[in-house]
Amino acid sequence: MKALQIKRNVARFGAARIVGAVSPSGATKVGPLEYRTIEDPACPGDGWHRVRTRLTGICGSDLSLVGGHASTYFEDWVSFPFVPGHEVVGELVDGDDAGTRVVLEPVLGHAARGIPLPFDGARPADGDDYAHLAVTSHNGVEPAIQTGFCCSTGGGWAPWFWAHDSQLHRLDQSIDDFPDERAVLIEPFAGGIHAALLAAPIVAGRPDPVVAVLGAGTMGLAAIAGLRRYVPGSRIVVGARYPHQRELASAFGADVVVAATELDRAVRREVGCHMLGNGESGALSSGADVTIDAVGSSGSIADCLRITRPRGRIVLLGMPARVDLDLTGLWHREIDLKGAYTYGTETLADGTVTDTFRLAIDTVTAVEAERLVSATYPLDEHIDAIDHAANAGRRGAIKIAFDLRESN
């Protein structure tokens, strides 16, 4: 079959890094991603299903990889050559359930690798030891954090791939009632909701808590929707760069929405604190109880440190890779810096134990998330698609996806 595939090629990764600083589409042309005929991956064993791709999103982590900017941290957590694509809605190909639409929970967890769960009912990303993700499993699944980075399974940027029972969420609704454009956003919304829930223990019991969100692309908007639904009572203050992002942030439940450059002033007004110093060296005397960074850059993390109160929390939702930071404020203000990579088993404020994908399925329906899918492309137009995704903000877009429904 023809698919988009990434091979280990140091020269191409280096070329993509250099060219990508100027042109995302140029990085795609010279980088490691190629549209080629590949061998069909073999079925890993019992409990695995062939899934035909319908829609598959282009994620920020995909853009970092294609552009040569992905962290070397992940070298031991991927297996080459692999087909990207982990935000997927597809349909089962074989068996009694053939034709049933499914959404992928991409982490290749314990069940997919044929090893005991860390606890009863654990989701793929649960557990406090990731050793199983970095070794070849006895069923032959090669190292990978998730589908879309694993040579054994394939990924969504192909006509079909393999997925384990534990990774699949079946959609019983009709396409009219639950369109593919909504379903393809379940995975990123699960990530945003997980980040939102990390705010809950910090704001619990505080009078008039304030949660700030920096960035309102797909992940920032997902976090805003999660805060509004699952962290009740918080004032949500959002800084977003582009007008269409600010409009959507308000629609998804933010109380105050400003330009990203005005976020410190907006938080100051909400909290009623002082500004100490000026410019990049300035900081609020207090600040937001929690700040969610949905950008993931040196500048955005520095901004979060300036606007988060002493003994508050910063949640890194945007994948930061390498950053250059002055961490004096983190030390002095005793701020908790918390990563938010994925999703899994969650405990809500009322004590309900659930999983993030269930919450995401409800949330994408409540906010009509399909409106975030701004454009779709066939796989053979991947250069234009990736350029559009890399420049989504300035082009008035949010989520760009590959559409394989007609080709399949």
Within a domain: 245? yes
User: In this predicted model, what pLDDT tens digit does every residue of 266-311 receive, in sequence order?
Assistant: 999 999 999 998 766 689 999 999 999 999 999 999 999 999 999 9
Within a domain: 115? yes
Same domain, 99 and 229: no
Region 366-382 average pLDDT: 98
Q: Please report which confidence band the pLDDT of residue 16 belongs to, taking 50, 70 and 90 as the band edges.
A: confident
Q: Please report which confidence band the pLDDT of residue 356 belongs to, taking 50, 70 and 90 as the band edges.
A: very high
Same domain, 135 and 227: no
Give the pLDDT score at 69: 81
Give the pLDDT score at 280: 67
Q: Is 321 a residue whose pLDDT tops 80?
A: no
Same domain, 36 and 165: yes
Q: Is 193 a residue whose pLDDT tops 90?
A: yes
Residue 249 tokens, joined: 């942030």
Supply the CATH number for residue 318's domain. 3.40.50.720
Q: Are 262 and 245 in contact (CB under 8 A)?
A: no
Strand order in the sheet with 210-214: 256-259, 235-240, 210-214, 288-293, 308-316, 336-339
Give the pLDDT score at 102: 98
Within a domain: 146? yes
Alpha helices for 231-262 (secondary structure H): 243-251
Region 217-230 average pLDDT: 98
Give the pLDDT score at 375: 98
Q: Is 384 a residue whose pLDDT tops 70?
A: yes
Same domain, 150 and 207: no
Output the DSSP codes for 35-90.
EEE-PPPPP-STTEEEEEEEEEE--HHHHHHHTT---GGGGGG--SSB----SEEE
User: In this predicted model, what pLDDT tens digit does every residue of 250-267 receive, in sequence order?
Assistant: 999 999 999 999 999 999
Mean pLDDT, the chain, whole residue set: 94
Name the residue type at position 235: R
Same domain, 294 and 388: no
Supply the CATH number for residue 108's domain. 3.90.180.10
Q: Please report which confidence band the pLDDT of residue 9 belongs to, taking 50, 70 and 90 as the band edges.
A: confident
Same domain, 110 and 155: yes
Same domain, 163 and 15: yes
Alpha helices for 292-340 (secondary structure H): 298-307, 328-332
Q: Is the dihedral of CA 367, 393, 34, 407 positive or negative?
A: positive
Q: Which domain holds residue 148?
A: 2-184+368-403
CB count, 10 Å around CB of 187?
28
Same domain, 194 and 173: no
